[in-house]
């Protein structure tokens, strides 16, 4: 089982406002890691959104990627990772309801990122950690769920030893409004709140952003 998962299970539910990456007080969200104990909560959120982004079940960043042809196969693959303890994912709760998540992991755990060739062309060293996709339930968007999810993921990363963390968000400034799944890695503004800075551009509207997270 990944160190972060074991630590969170031992500690119980974690408030995303704890530690050096506290989000605005009063949001009232709780967080848990995705484990077999929380799988049903995660699955209910994904199923309520038609498998999320065409049925990916948040598999795109994992080593096997989206090589399966159906959402049922993606679901089975995600469940297998959860059972094996090879997934690191913070779930955000509003009361008893899971309303969002933030996926994170090492480059070996999350090797697949968009614009891979452009990323590798100018890469000098891999980060210690990556933040993969983030997701918020439709009726909870604009209420700080993604910020709570990223905050909790950074707390988990700090507890697992910290290091250089990369994210791959979309630039929204000076860009026409977009619809759909383009923000599955989040907007730049979200990561700026946590001290991430641009490292290099890998697509017209996508940047590698980095932050150094100290161990806690």
Q: What is the pLDDT of residues 36-84, one digit of tens each?
A: 999 999 999 999 998 887 889 999 999 998 766 789 999 999 999 999 9
Out of 7-11, 18-22, 24-28, 161-165, which region has the weakest mean confidence (pLDDT)? 7-11
Pick from 184, 81, 191: nearest CA to 141: 184
Residue carrying structure tokens 């090492």: 106
For residue 166, the enclosing domain spans 3-213
pTM for the predicted model, two decimal places = 0.85
pLDDT score recorded for residue 21: 53
Residue carrying structure tokens 């999810």: 149
Distance CA 127, CA 19 (A): 22
pLDDT score recorded for residue 167: 95
Q: Give the contacts of 160 (CB within 8 A, at least 6 positions apart).
A: 2, 3, 4, 7
Confidence of residue 176 (pLDDT cuts 50, 70, 90): low
Instruction: Read off the pLDDT of each residue in 163-182 and give the average, rounded to a whole number.
Output: 74
Total domains in the chain come to 1
Q: How far apart are the first and last CA of the chain?
A: 20
> Residue 114 belongs to a domain with what CATH number?
3.40.630.30
pLDDT score recorded for residue 53: 78
Instruction: Read off the pLDDT of each residue in 174-181 and give the average, rounded to a whole number.
Output: 58
pLDDT score recorded for residue 161: 97
């Amino acid at each position: 089982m990944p160190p972060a998962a074991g630590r969170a299970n031992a500690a119980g539910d974690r408030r995303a406002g704890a530690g050096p990456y506290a989000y605005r007080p009063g949001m009232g969200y709780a967080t848990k890691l995705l484990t077999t104990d929380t799988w049903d909560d995660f699955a209910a959120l994904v199923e309520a959104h038609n498998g999320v982004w065409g049925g990916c079940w948040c598999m795109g960043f994992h080593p096997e990627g989206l090589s399966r042809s159906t959402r049922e196969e993606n679901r089975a693959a995600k469940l297998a990772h959860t059972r094996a303890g090879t997934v690191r994912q913070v779930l955000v709760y509003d009361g008893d309801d899971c309303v969002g998540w933030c996926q994170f992991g090492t480059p070996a755990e999350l090797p697949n990122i968009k614009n891979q060739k452009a990323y590798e062309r100018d890469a000098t060293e891999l980060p210690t950690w990556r933040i993969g996709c983030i997701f918020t339930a439709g009726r909870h968007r604009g209420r700080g769920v993604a910020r709570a999810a990223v905050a909790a993921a950074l707390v988990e990363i700090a507890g697992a030893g910290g290091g250089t963390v990369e994210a791959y968000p979309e630039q929204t400034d000076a860009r026409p409004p977009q619809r759909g799944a383009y923000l599955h890695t989040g907007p730049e503004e979200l990561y700026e709140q946590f001290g991430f800075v641009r490292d290099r551009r890998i697509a017209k509207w996508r940047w590698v952003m980095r932050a150094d997270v100290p161990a806690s």
